[in-house]
Structures are given as structure tokens and as C-alpha cells.
A and B are shown apart, each in its own frame.
Chain A
Amino acid sequence: MNDAVVLHFDVDGENFTSAGEASVQVKKTLRQMGFPPEVIRRVSIAMYEGEINMVIHAGGGKADVTVDSDKIHIVLADKGPGIADIDLAMQEGYSTAKDNIRSLGFGAGMGLPNMKRYSDHMEVESALGKGTTITMDIYLS
């Protein structure tokens, strides 16, 4: 029985340039552990989208990744403004990002839909004024 590998990251909400560092680290770790490229890519993209979201919407947050024998489990938690209408936020193309975010190449309303697309299971819990926690699982067949 292998012990799960647990990775924890604080995502800096003040620094757009460093956004994605946690995802890069996860990608490197999974590569070292010998996972198939397709699994690594799905985890990396799902987490990167979540990390960008935390930086542009929520002022940063915490990311925890657990590599278990049957799945990779990602928890992204922030204390941002929360999501008013989760169903609406899950629609492709819907975004509350401002123009300054779009000028950085993000805010097309694809973040959450992409996270859902690249994960096998995803849950979004959000409370206005308190924050958002997103849980994603990528199963290892």
C-alpha cells in the first residue's frame, strides 16, 4: 500500500506573473512519478485554470493536490467574493472578468468549463463574500 503524495501551495493573488507556478510544480512532480502524458496534461490544465481564476477573481488562495493510488484529487480554496450563480458561471463564454484581464489573454469564460472538461468529477462550493472551494478528481485507470 503506497502512501498518498500530498502537495500544498499558497497561490499569491497579487502577482499575475507568478500565477501558474503551482501547476508547473505539479506537472513536474507527476512527470517524475511517471504518469501518462494525457493524465499529466489534464491535471495541469485543470489546475492551471483554477490557479488563474484564484489570481484574477479571488486575490489568491490555497491549492492542495493529493496523488492517490486510484485518482488525483485537487482542492482549490479561496476567500474571494464567491460565485453568485454557479450554473451561469459554468456556461462557456460567461465571464465576469474585466477588460484588463482580457488584455492579459484570459477572461473568455472558459476557465470553469475547462476545469470540468479536463477532470472526471468536479464540485463547486461557493458563498458570496466568503469564498469558493473547487474540488476536482482525475481518475487513474
Chain B
Amino acid sequence: MTIREIMELLDAKVLACEESLDHDVHSACGSDMMSDVLAYVKDQAVLLTGLVNSQVVRTAEMMDMRCIVFVRSKQPTPEILELAQESGIVVLATSKRMYEACGKLYSSGLKPEAVGDVQ
């Protein structure tokens, strides 16, 4: 599915890298613990998280992810968004909680893939 479809499924707003909304992504993971993302995630393109700091963007960048979804109405700072824009990572924000957000994407065909069941 495209990142734009994720945005629509989650009633999310796009906060950075809007120009990449039509990129295709095939898998996702959800975690508030970046240590676990770095340990268990492999080839997931989307990270759903309720953690908001600049290391979320750095972690996503290290893992070659394309999109970060901040759940539970978390608001990233302009500094975080600037970092994401520089790194070419789309940032979405949704008011949905982690469980519901993951569930909606999973049931719409976005898979966990590999060993990445972090949450």
C-alpha cells in the first residue's frame, strides 16, 4: 500500500516529506522502544510509535525506513520534523492509539514480515 493510503486509514496528518506520500510500502512495526527496533526489525518500511524525540528519526534512518507514524496525538517538534525532512522520511500523526493503528493497517494488508513482532 502507499503511504497515502496509510494516512487515510489512520485519519492521519502529514507533517514532513509530503512529496513522498505515493511511495509503496509493504511492512510495518510498532514500538516505543528504539532499542528493540534496532534489535528485531528487518526491512520494515513503516514505524508506528508513541515515543517522540529526534532519535526516533535517527533510528528510522538507520533502518532505512520510509515512514514514521506518531500515534496517540503525539506532536513532534519542528526540530524533529526538520530532521525527518532532511532524511527523506515521511512523518504522519494520528490520534489513534497504537493497538488500533496497528490493527487497522494489519487488517488492510500491511504485514509484519520477518521477525519484527516487536510490540
Contact = CB atoms under 8 A, between A and B. Distances in A.
Contacts of A17: 53-54, 79
Contacts of A132: none
Given A107-B35, A113-B39, A114-B38, A48 B58 contact: yes
B18 interface: no
- The B interface, classified by DSSP as helix, strand, loop or mixed, is helix
Contacts of B36: 108, 110
B64 A104 contact: no
- The A interface, classified by DSSP as helix, strand, loop or mixed, is helix
Nearest to A49: B38
Given A27-B61, A41-B63, A110 B55 contact: no
Interface string A31-48: 000000100010011001
B55 A24 contact: no
A104 B53 contact: yes
A83 interface: no
Given A16-B55, A17-B54, A27 B35 contact: no
Interface of B: 32-36, 38-39, 49, 51, 53-56, 58-59, 61-64, 79, 87
Interface of A: 16-17, 19-20, 23-24, 27, 37, 41, 44-45, 48-49, 52, 92, 102, 104-111, 113-114, 117
